[in-house]
Amino acid sequence: MSAANANAETVVNTDGLNSRANRHQQANVEAHELLAEARSVAAAVADPELPFVTVEDLGILRSVRLEGSQVVAEVSPTYSGCPAVAVIEQSILNALLDAGFDARVQRVMSPAWTTDWITDAGRQKLLQNGIAPPAAHNPAKPTLFEKTSVSCPHCGGSATSRVSEFGSTPCKAQYRCDDCQEPFDYFKCL
């Protein structure tokens, strides 16, 4: 083999590597954009019981990832007995399919969802819609004799009484404000 031939072969190989790298990079960019779009579609799905908050606001959309060309949305139920879970999963799946994605929804039970995962935006929306957001959970604090302080979402008053352990849905408790007398739902801490 002459030196010229060896050089020519090297150039060909380098070109081959470069174009493979470019194609790979291009595919990564497309996957990234696909994932970002799928994520925004899934994140915008409203909670069926609280239509003013999204699954992202509630922190139950765990992640959106790609398995090959299929979008996998990981969802954590607010609690295992919550009847809305199946509806939420179906809503997310339908939103992704409607947007043209090959998709499936995977339920993730561990680590378990807690109300701490509700975003600040989600808490604001709950409050604006007359539902007292859950008090921030502090696992370092003993809770056995601790009285939960729930502020009225209407007037902000802290003198409130629990009327019922269950509100309009099992994940809420019903309260009444002692100041303005308005009833309201409290999103229970889990």
Instruction: Tell me how far apart the alpha carbons of residues 84 and 82 are, in angstroms, rounded to a whole number.
Output: 5
Applying CB under 5 A, which of residues 118, 152, 171, 173 lies at the interface with Zn ion? 152
CA atoms within a 13 Å half-sphere pointing along the CA-CB vector of 11: 6
Instruction: Tell me how far apart the alpha carbons of residues 153 and 162 are, in angstroms, rounded to a whole number.
Output: 14
Q: Is 132 in the site for Zn ion (CB under 5 A)?
A: no
Least distance in angstroms from the C-beta of 150 to Zn ion: 11
Q: Which two structure tokens, joined as six digits, stand for 20?
A: 């493979």
Q: Is 157 in the site for Zn ion (CB under 5 A)?
A: yes
Q: Is 176 in the site for Zn ion (CB under 5 A)?
A: no
Least distance in angstroms from the C-beta of 183 to Zn ion: 10
Q: Which helix (H) or strand (E) holds 74?
A: strand 70-75
Burial class (CB in 10 A: 0-12, 13-18, 19+), 78: buried
Applying CB under 5 A, which of residues 65, 104, 154, 176 lies at the interface with Zn ion? 154
- The interface region with Zn ion, picked from 47-55, 100-108, 162-170, 171-179 by CB under 5 A, is 171-179
Q: Which is nearer to Zn ion, 157 or 170 (CB)?
A: 157
Q: Is 53 in the site for Zn ion (CB under 5 A)?
A: no
Least distance in angstroms from the C-beta of 177 to Zn ion: 3
Specify the 3-state DSSP secondary structure of 37: helix
- The interface region with Zn ion, picked from 47-55, 62-70, 98-106, 146-154 by CB under 5 A, is 146-154
- The interface region with Zn ion, picked from 46-54, 64-72, 142-150, 178-186 by CB under 5 A, is 178-186
Q: Which is nearer to Zn ion, 59 or 157 (CB)?
A: 157
Instruction: Tell me how far apart the alpha carbons of residues 64 and 39 are, in angstroms, rounded to a whole number.
Output: 6
- Structure-token match 């915008």, residue found: 44
Q: What is the DSSP letter of 106?
A: E
Residues in contact with Zn ion by the rule CB under 5 A: 152, 154-155, 157, 177, 179-180
